[in-house]
């Protein structure tokens, strides 16, 4: 094995880059999501990959990791063709992934997690784990990532930052030569993040190649040598980090002037009636003393990193998760026992972050999905007959108004619709109820730019009709484009508030990256 690495090294000296990706294409169900992506990664360098959600980043990475086969295109490591059939082959070729969702087994120890790919044995014919060797190797790897923990500790007792470092240690254990980081800092404290950056520099110095994916463009520019920008499955930019600014990167990510993507703001000032009034909402360990208002006709955004409590806030507001104290009022009436039903009765609507998991009945048709939330309003006995004709008429009307593209509203399962159309189905479901307050969590995740513009337009129309809208998003540009006001969350608190036209990307991000005092 070491001789193979030697020959690889000599070949590298011959000039072939560590990783070369050329013309990658990928289609799902006839829809092309990746339209020719090419880049190279040299040893000892870091490559930043940026792009909005749905731009093709994760598809590209899944192809490199062997989880998806490309429809076309080639990859090469050290000049030799590389076509992994699964993640195991990718690992064998020297590629290690640090995912946003960590892949650690909580019921196993650190040492076991590190050794899982190939447990060491003392006697080759006896499948007995050599625990002493496993422990020693784990201790060594933990030292390399500067983590002072016992290898025997169960993973479920580690803090998120510690888990991330264990994951990196795992990548190092497999003699990886290319390490891919996917949004690595979202759950880290600032001290942990600094430690991670130092580690990345170390890895580069040792001659490893690093691919770094992140939404925090400042970090990307600081760590990487080159930056690749993806948009709608196409690589739109690939240049040295030294030659660009965050402003450039944003422009190439969005790909068009902001004015085209987002609807014009209404001339009229937001009305003075309060649509949503939240006071002192607190749940230990999750959110702390959230107090804010949304006026009728106003669009308020919540910005924050993953793990800042933005989605948790939405779930608590809608009664899906409990809160220890605090009140939520819609149109001046406090909702007593918050549950989805009570919140809906008060006039709330909630488009969830996880469209497929929380939003849709995938095997059912469009109309059945659109009608579902309406059923709770029918003030009749659950066993009484449905006013089917009326329901269908209203639902088709709603489906038409959001322009859902489906060839059969009754029989075609929503499973087979595109992401944008699926999201419109969820929108139609809630629009049918004419909500007083509409909470949208990541309304445009995984949706192409065209559908995004349509959804922004719908949201603006809704606000103009007097609904108070709360938009939660990880895309700061989106919030800048649609919101009248932006609240920034960090560690479960609202830490800053910005009002249009004083919405400033850098200031929002800075606020979002605040660390909790004493947290580190």
Partner 1 sequence: MWRFLRRLLTSEYLVLLLTALYVLCLWPFAPEIVSAQTALEVIMAMLPLLLLAIGQTFVLIVAGIDLSITSTMAFSSVVAAALMTGDGGYLAGNALAVPVALIAFLLIGLAVGCANGLCVVRLGMPSFMVTLVAQTFLSGAAIWFTSLHSTSVSIGDLPAAFSVIGRGGIAGIPYALLLCLVVAFAAHWLLGRTTLGRWLYAVGNNPRAATVSGVPTGRVIIIAFVLSGFCAALASIVYTSRLETGTPVLGQRVLLDVIGAAVIGGVSLFGGRGKISWVILGVLFLSVVDKGLQLLGLSQSIVFAVKGGVILLAAIIDALRSRILVRVAA
Partner 2 sequence: MQTSSTRASLAVLRSAPALLFVAVVVLFAILAPRFLEVQNFANILTQSANVAIVAVGMTFVLLLAGVDLSVGAAMYVCAAVAGLYFKDLPAPAAMALMTAIGALFGAINALFIVGLGIAAFIVTLATLFVGRGLALHLSQTKMVFAGDPVLAFGQGGFLGISYAVWTMAIVLLLALWVQQWTPYGRYLYAIGADREGARKAGIPVRRVVFATYVLCGTLAGLGGFVSFSQVAAASSGFGLQKEFPVIAAAVLGGTSLFGGRGGVLGSVFGAILIQTVQNGLVLLNANPYLYPLVISAIIFIAVLLDSQRTRILARLTRRQIRIEPGVEARRSTAT
Binding site for partner 1 (CB under 8 A): 29, 318, 320, 340-341, 344, 350, 352, 357-364, 368, 371-373, 375-376, 378, 380, 382-386, 388, 413, 415-416, 429
* CA separation for the pair 88, 380 (Å, rounded): 56
Select from 93, 353, 493, 509 the one that contacts partner 2 (CB under 8 A): 493
DSSP codes of every residue in 215-244: S-HHHHHHH-SEEEEEETTEEEEEEEGGG-
- Binding of partner 2 by 112 (CB under 8 A): yes
Q: With CB cut-offs between 5 and 8 Å by kind, which of partner 1, partner 2, none does residue 112 bind? A: partner 2
In whole angstroms, the minimum distance from the beta carbon of 442 to partner 2 comes to 17
Q: Tokens 């006013």 — which residue?
A: 387
Q: Is 108 exposed, middle or buried (0-12, 13-18, 19+ CB in 10 A)?
A: middle
Question: 113-152 mask for partner 2 (x: CB under 8 A)?
Answer: ---xx-x-------xxx-x---------------------
Asked whether position 519 contacts partner 2 by CB under 8 A, the answer is yes
Nearer to partner 2, 7 or 86 (CB): 86
Q: Which of 288, 293, 433, 505 binds partner 2 (CB under 8 A)?
A: 288
Q: How far apart are CA 92 and CA 176, in angstroms?
A: 8
362 binds, among partner 2, partner 1, none (CB under 5 to 8 A by kind): partner 1
> Residue 360: which of partner 2, partner 1, none does it interact with, CB under 5 to 8 A by kind?
partner 1
Is residue 164 within 8 A of residue 183, CB to CB? The reply is: no
163 vs 355, which CB is nearer to partner 2? 163
> How far is 65 from 82, CA to CA, in rounded Å?
11
CB of 146 to partner 1, least distance (A): 40
The option from partner 1, partner 2, none interacting with 307 (CB < 5 to 8 A, set by class) reads: partner 2
Q: Is 68 in the site for partner 2 (CB under 8 A)?
A: no
User: Smallest gap, in angstroms, from Cβ of residue 318 to partner 1?
Assistant: 7
Cα–Cα dist 177/91, whole Å: 10
Q: Are residues 513 and 188 in contact, defined by beta-carbon separation less than 8 angstroms?
A: no
Q: What residue 359 binds from partner 1, partner 2, none (CB within 5 to 8 A, per partner kind)?
A: partner 1
Residue 164 · residue 103 · CB < 8 Å: no
CB of 458 to partner 2, least distance (A): 31
Distance CA 304, CA 282 (A): 18
Binding part of the chain for partner 2, among 9-17, 98-106, 241-249, 360-368 by CB under 8 A, reads 98-106
Q: Is the CB of residue 19 less than 8 Å from the CB of residue 78?
A: no
Of 91, 316, 436, 483, the one binding partner 2 by CB under 8 A? 91
Q: Does 491 bind partner 2 (CB under 8 A)?
A: yes
What are the CA-CA distances from residue 226 to residues 54, 249, 338, 423 (Å)? 21, 12, 49, 34
409 within 8 A of 396, measured Cβ to Cβ: yes
User: Shortest CA distance to 215 belongs to which of 248, 191, 250?
Assistant: 250
Distance from C-alpha of 419 to C-alpha of 438, rounded to nearest angstrom? 20
- Applying CB under 8 A, which part among 7-15, 16-24, 154-162, 336-344 lies near partner 2? 154-162
- E-only strand ranges, 19-173: 19-28, 31-41, 46-50, 72-77, 80-81, 95-98
Instruction: Report the residue count for the chain.
Output: 520
* Residue 336, helix vs strand vs coil: coil
Instruction: Using the rule CB under 8 A, give the single segment among 30-38, 333-341, 412-420, 485-493 that binds partner 2.
Output: 485-493
Say whether residue 320 binds partner 2 (CB under 8 A).
no
Single out the residue of 309, 347, 420, 446 in contact with partner 2 (rule: CB under 8 A): 309
468-472 β-sheet, strand order = 348-351, 437-441, 468-472, 299-303, 485-490, 493-499
Among partner 2, partner 1, none, what does residue 105 contact (CB within 5–8 Å per kind)? Answer: partner 2
With contacts defined by CB under 8 A, name the span among 9-17, 68-76, 260-268, 302-310 that binds partner 2: 302-310
From 157, 271, 341, 465, residue interacting with partner 2 (rule: CB under 8 A): 157
Which residue, 329, 318, 331, is CA-closest to 272?
Answer: 331
Please report whether residue 100 would count as binding partner 2 according to CB under 8 A.
no
In the complex, which residues of this chain contact partner 2 (CB under 8 A)? 67, 86-88, 91, 103, 105-108, 112, 116-117, 119, 127-129, 131, 156-157, 159-160, 187, 284-288, 307-309, 312, 491-493, 516, 518-519
């Amino acid at each position: 094995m070491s001789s193979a690495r030697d020959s690889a090294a000599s070949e590298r000296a011959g000039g072939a880059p560590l990783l070369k990706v050329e013309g990658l294409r990928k289609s799902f169900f006839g829809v092309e999501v990746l339209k020719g992506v090419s880049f190279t990664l040299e040893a000892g360098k870091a490559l930043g990959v940026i792009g909005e959600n749905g731009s093709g980043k994760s598809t590209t990475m899944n192809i490199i990791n062997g989880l998806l086969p490309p429809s076309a295109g080639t990859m090469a490591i050290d000049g030799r063709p590389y076509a992994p059939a699964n993640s195991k082959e990718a690992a064998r070729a020297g590629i290690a992934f640090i995912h946003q969702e960590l892949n650690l087994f909580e019921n196993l120890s650190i040492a076991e997690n590190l050794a899982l790919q190939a447990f060491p044995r003392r006697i080759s014919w006896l499948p007995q784990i050599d625990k002493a060797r496993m422990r020693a190797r784990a201790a060594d790897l933990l030292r390399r990532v500067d983590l002072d923990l016992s290898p025997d500790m169960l993973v479920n007792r580690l803090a998120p930052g510690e888990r991330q470092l264990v994951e990196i240690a795992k990548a190092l254990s497999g003699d990886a030569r290319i390490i891919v980081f996917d949004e690595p800092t979202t759950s880290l404290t600032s001290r942990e993040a600094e430690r991670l950056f130092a580690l990345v520099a170390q890895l580069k110095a040792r001659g490893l190649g690093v691919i770094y994916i992140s939404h925090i463009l400042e970090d990307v520019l600081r760590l990487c040598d080159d930056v690749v920008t993806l948009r709608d499955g196409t690589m739109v930019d690939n240049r040295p980090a030294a030659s660009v600014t965050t402003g450039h990167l944003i422009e190439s990510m969005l790909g068009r002037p902001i004015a085209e993507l987002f609807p014009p703001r209404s001339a009229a000032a937001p009305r003075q009636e309060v649509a949503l009034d939240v006071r002192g909402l607190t749940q230990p360990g999750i959110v702390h003393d959230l107090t804010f208002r949304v006026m009728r006709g106003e669009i308020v955004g919540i910005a924050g990193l993953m793990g800042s409590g933005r989605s948790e806030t939405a779930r608590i507001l809608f009664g899906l998760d409990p809160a220890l104290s605090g009140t939520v009022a819609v149109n001046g009436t406090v909702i007593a026992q918050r549950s989805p039903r009570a919140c809906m009765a008060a006039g709330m609507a909630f488009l969830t972050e996880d469209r497929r998991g929380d939003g849709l009945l995938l095997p059912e048709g469009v109309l059945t999905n659109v009608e579902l939330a309406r059923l709770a309003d029918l003030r009749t006995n659950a066993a009484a007959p449905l006013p089917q004709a009326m329901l269908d008429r209203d639902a088709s009307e709603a489906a038409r108004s959001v322009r859902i593209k489906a060839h059969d509203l009754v029989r075609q399962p929503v499973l087979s619709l595109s992401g944008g159309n699926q999201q419109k189905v969820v929108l139609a479901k809630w629009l049918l109820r004419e909500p007083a307050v509409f909470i949208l969590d990541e309304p445009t995740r995984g949706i192409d730019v065209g559908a995004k513009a349509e959804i922004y337009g719908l949201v603006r129309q809704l606000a103009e009709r007097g609904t108070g809208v709360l938009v939660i998003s990880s895309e700061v540009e989106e919030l800048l484009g649609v919101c009248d006001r932006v609240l920034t969350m960090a560690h479960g608190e609202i830490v800053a508030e910005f009002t249009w036209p004083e919405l400033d990307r850098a200031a929002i991000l800075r606020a979002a990256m605040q660390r909790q005092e004493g947290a580190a």
